[in-house]
Structure 1
Amino acid sequence: MLMPVATIGVYFRVLRDCIFSPDSLIYNILNFDYLMSDQIWNIGNVLSSGMVRVTLGIFGIYVAYFSAVHTARLYHKDTTMAGIAAVIVITFCAYLSGLGSSNNLQQALYSRILNINGILIAIIVGYFVGQIFHFFGKNHVHLKNENINTIRHRAWNSILPTLISVVAGLILGLLIYFFKIRLLDSFYIKSLVGSLQNSNKLFVVVPITMLATLFWWGGIGYPLSSLLTSSNSGAAIANMNYALRHGNAANVPYKYLGSSLVQAYGWMGDVCIALTLTVIILLFSHDKEIESIAKLNLLPVAFGGPQGLAVGLPIILNPLYLVPVVFIPAINELIAAGAIAVHLIVPSAYPVLRGTPGILIAFFGSNGNWKCFAFTILLFILDILILFPSLKMGQKINKELIAYDKQARYDF
């Protein structure tokens, strides 16, 4: 249900990162610094940044609301009131969590808990609020037309579970504040990411990549998003300096640097799984609705915005995609490391501009090495072959669900 919100946010994020960012690939190729006036740039930057913030930035509010709504609906409780209570709880917890790192009200409210990269917590909060309405709320039957008396009666019946939910939220918020519990704290995430980005050892890089992708599949995307940002580590700078002095990156001191392997080959700039699935759906799927979702998200996915597809397909928390999501990036890294070891390709040592399509990161990161580009395409084809059985299994399950739904309606 939240796929439209995520897709709208991702489109505006692509606009912000690719069109209205001076350090982006498209901005520099099209020379927008001279062609685009300051007024247009300011308006575009404000609009795109604002839409990203009210969609992806507070996505957790929408998630908590619908999580509570659908949980309460299972037990025939008042869904609207459950959703409102969940919004109060998640927003209060996010506010107190953010206060520990900022005294600014606005910055505290836009905490990491509410971001689309932290939706697992919002799902859990909404679910528990829905369960509170399950045990303490009165049964509710939806009426097509409601007058003031029926609405007042609904509100009165929902007072007890709403109060219990708010009190539970107060307790959780105070625990977060007084005990300095940093949910999704950037310090721990940076520690995890830093150990991978600076490592030149595959037995460190590959397991941490798998852990980060597991978190992403589970609704915690911060470790992965941090891994895919540009690394200014000493090892990365040493590789770049060597490549600049010698004219190529074949013998850089850190050939298997974690940040380079993840960005160029492991996740290909956040498009590995999402773009692979999009291509498979467009080529082999016979489900018109799924095809429409893939077509709608093709552009943002190509430029590193998989959230719309991940929510709408869905990929996040979908058991069908758990194994491929966790293992495909690791397989890509191991194969790429082997190719680097036998000098089939060169390491990615040069900085890549923001908004570069994931398929081209290895090409630009190797200073235009066509072998690296061809190798990336071959890896992408391999990823398609690995993911294809999961999609076919998903189509089979979907057909069985449709048949079951039709039979249930017939029996009713």
Structure 2
Amino acid sequence: MIDIATIVKIRECSFFKAAQRTLVMLMPIAMAGSYFKLLHNLVFAPDGLIYNIFGLDQVISDQFWYTGSFISAGIVEVTFGIFGLYACYFMAQYTARIYHKDSSMAGITAVLFILFCAYASSTNRNTQQLFSENLLQINAVFIALVIGYGVGLIYRFLGKDYQPVKDESTRTIQSRVWQAALPACVCLILSIILGIFIYDLKIKLLNSTSFNELINRVQITNNLWEVMLLTVVITFLNWLGIGFPVHVLSGTINNAHSAENLTYALQHGNSWQVPYQFLGSSLINNYAMMGGSSVTLAIIVILMLRHENKEIVSLTKISLLPAAFNSTLVFTVGLPIMLNPVFLLPSILIPLFNLLIAASAISLRLIPVSVYPILKGTPGLLVPFFGTNGNWETLIFTILLFLSDIGLLWPIIKLSERVSKKLSEATQENVNE
């Protein structure tokens, strides 16, 4: 039995409280990024689903295609590409605000901190790319939240108490700046020390190369127990806000084992008896994550069926289309699911459950192995279907698996609602006091 009081206590910790507020605040940015990423993957990518189905290379002009590609890729870059910058600012701001410090100055200081770390970890300083994009993008949002929280704590201990003023004079603002000088200088010194450490040791902070060994192992292992363990690690990192492994696995997988599986399927006309039946890259992307949308899409369906909160229902409606096509970040950020203790175990155990059921079905020859390449933007529920070259048993199996995920998540949603109610009551009591 999950103790609601314990979850409420965790959620009331300053880190989780500030993180939840930060993520919810950034929901509009995540929404814009999700929709334009969906548009880019479906329409303006040569390996996109709609692009190939409708043969858009023959239908639309090159000028229109390049313009659409430029706009969609650009919006994705200024939303998801520097999402960590926004997260760091608001995390520091909300942390400082919890302790009644100058939140605006804390946010500005946090931006300086993370930008210098991104500069130090950049490997292309001789080109126009001055900052490491991997440190600033949404797949590394956890480190941005940690930096923002650290800056907020420095303001807590070294900054002076601050009460917002409705109409500030220039002199008042100057006073605020001088009062923030000590914590800001301490943060700047710490960022320089950390930057030198990163630069000298050539550390790549939370980017895809940092997880190369993990990703490579997932892609080539055919050991089911190892696949299960790696699934736990990857799903935990994804809940934490480190999405690089999931992002890489959801793309095109090129390795000798997957190539051998595909070659066998092309030679024999099916993938029932391929050499590597439990390849990690195939099982995790196709069944554990269903292209990245399994848990998130199931939660959206449940909330649409039973939730009475108009704001939550609106969020589910906005998130449904991109989530159906595997762009789930608007919902994981907006609810939020990321860094929410209520969804920690479901985010790990449900993909593990899906993987085990799928592996059992493959062992019993109920479904073939998924080996064929998948176009970008393919809906998560159809990823195994296309991965098996249109096997209908696989489609039925995937739908049943998704329905079972909904059943498993139903009590978790009830628990989440009870936790939210307790938090609202505690907040109301603090206001009344």
Q: Distance in 2 between matches of 1:124 and 1:405?
A: 24
Residue 228 (str. 1) matches residue 228 (str. 2): no
1:386 aligned residue (408, 412, 426): 408
Q: Which residue of 2 aligns with 1:23?
A: 47
Asked if 1:168 corresponds to 2:186, the answer is no
2:421 aligned with 1:399:
yes
| CA distance in 2: counterparts of 1:106 and 1:118, whole angstroms | 22
CA distance in structure 2 between the partners assigned to 1:89 and 1:408 by the alignment: 33
Residue 371 (structure 1) aligns with: 393
Determine whether 1:263 maps to 2:266: no
* Aligned residue number for residue 201 of structure 1: 223
Letter in 1 for 2:400: L
Distance 1:162 1:21, change over 3 A: same
Determine helix, strand or coil for the equivalent of 1:317. Answer: coil
Alignment of 1:217-256 (within 5 A): 217-256=239-278
1:196 & 1:366 partners in 2: Cα distance? 20
Q: How does 1:342-361 map to 2 (within 5 A)?
A: 342-361=364-383
* Corresponding letter in the other structure for 2:86: Y
CA separation of 1:114/1:323 partners in 2, compared to 1, >3 Å: closer, same or farther?
same
Q: Please show how residues 185-334 of structure 1 align to structure 2 within 5 Å.
A: 185-334=207-356
2:21 alignment partner in structure 1: none
TM-score for both structures, normalised by structure 1: 0.97
The Cα of 1:353 is off from its aligned counterpart by 1.0
Structure 2: gaps spanning 5 or more residues: 1-24
Instruction: Check the 8 A contact 2:42/2:49 in 1, yes or no.
Output: yes
The secondary structure found in structure 2 opposite 1:356 is coil
Q: CA deviation at 1:185?
A: 4.2
Task: Tell me, in whole angstroms, the C-alpha distance in 2 between the residues paired with 1:116 and 1:156.
Answer: 33
Match of 1:339 among 345, 351, 361: 361
Instruction: Write the letter of the residue equivalent to 1:268.
Output: M
CA–CA distance in 2 between the matches of 1:234 and 1:151? 62
Aligned residues: 409
Gaps of 5+ in 1: none
What is the aligned-residue RMSD (CA, Å)?
Answer: 1.3
* Cα contact 1:59–1:114 (8 A) shared by 2: yes
2:264 maps to amino acid: Y
1:96 and 1:356 mapped to 2: Cα distance?
37
Shift of 1:110: 4.3
Matched, 1:65 2:84: no
Report the Cα offset of residue 106 of structure 1.
4.2
How high is the TM-score relative to the length of structure 2? 0.92
1:352 Cα offset (Å): 1.1
Q: Give deviations 1:155-185, integer Å, cap 9, x for gaps.
A: 1111111111111111111110012222124
Deviations 1:351-398 (A, max 9, x none): 111111111011111111000000000110111111111111111122
Find out whether 1:94 has 2:118 as its counterpart: yes
Residue 106 to residue 327, structure 1, CA distance change in 2 (3 Å): farther
TM-fit CA distance, 1:25: 1.1
- Which amino acid in the other structure matches residue 131 of structure 1? L
* 1:51-105 superposed Cα distances (whole Å, 9 cap, x missing partner): 111110101111110111011111211110000000000011011111xx32345
Amino acid at match of 1:85: T
Q: Distance in 1 between matches of 2:132 and 2:28?
A: 21
Q: Could you say if the C-alpha distance between residues 279 and 106 of structure 1 is closer, same or farther in structure 2, counting changes exceeding 3 Å?
A: farther
- Asked if the contact 1:58–1:110 (Cα under 8 Å) also holds between the matched residues in 2, the reply is no
Q: Which amino acid aligns with 2:382?
A: L
Q: Equivalent residue of 2:133, what SS?
A: coil
Which residue is equivalent to 1:52? 76
- Determine the C-alpha separation between the residues in 2 that align with 1:403 and 1:72: 23
SS at 2:327 equivalent: coil
> What is the CA-CA distance between 1:404 and the residue it aligns to?
3.4
CA distance in 2, matches of 1:142, 1:231: 52
